[in-house]
Amino acid sequence: MTPCPVCNGLTNLVKDCPACGSPMEDCGRISSFTDPYGPYEETAESESKNAVTGDSHCVHFLHCPNCDENTSYIVNSDEI
Ligand SMILES: [Zn+2]
Ligand SMILES: [Zn+2]
């Protein structure tokens, strides 16, 4: 469960590409605080990570369709 307004469809994440200025596409949430290549996920470990990262922000992956720039953006539910 996340309060992220983007994940909840309350708002669209629209950011300009830092490289070319074109609007970037929100490719969804990424788990930047967990190992994306981890072959397994232990329940206790994920619980502790949730406690560390909290529920106040959500990291989204942005892709520029114009120049293929990739970046991430931290959506802070307190800011939107
Ligand atoms: Zn989100
Ligand atoms: Zn771009």
Judged by its nearest atom, the ligand closest to the C-alpha of residue 30 is 1
Which-ligand-closest: CA of 21? 2
Q: Which residues fall within 8 angstroms of residue 18, CB to CB, at 6 or more apart?
A: 69, 71
pLDDT band at 76 (very low <50, low <70, confident <90, very high): confident
Pairing verdict, β 57-63 and 25-29: antiparallel
* Ligand nearest the Cα atom of residue 23: 2
Cβ 23 vs Cβ 15: under 8 Å: yes
CA of 40 to the centre of ligand 1 (A): 23
The set of residues, in sequence order, having a beta carbon less than 8 Å from that of 74 and lying 6+ positions away, is 57, 58, 59, 60
- Which protein residues have a CB closer than 5 Å to ligand 1 (ion)? 4, 6-7, 29, 58
pLDDT attached to residue 79? 57
Structure confidence by residue, pLDDT tens digits, 13-22: 999 999 999 9
Distance of CA 46 to the CA centre of its chain: 17
- Ligand nearest, relative to CA of residue 55: 1
8 Å CB contact between 58 and 30: no
pTM above 0.85, yes or no: no
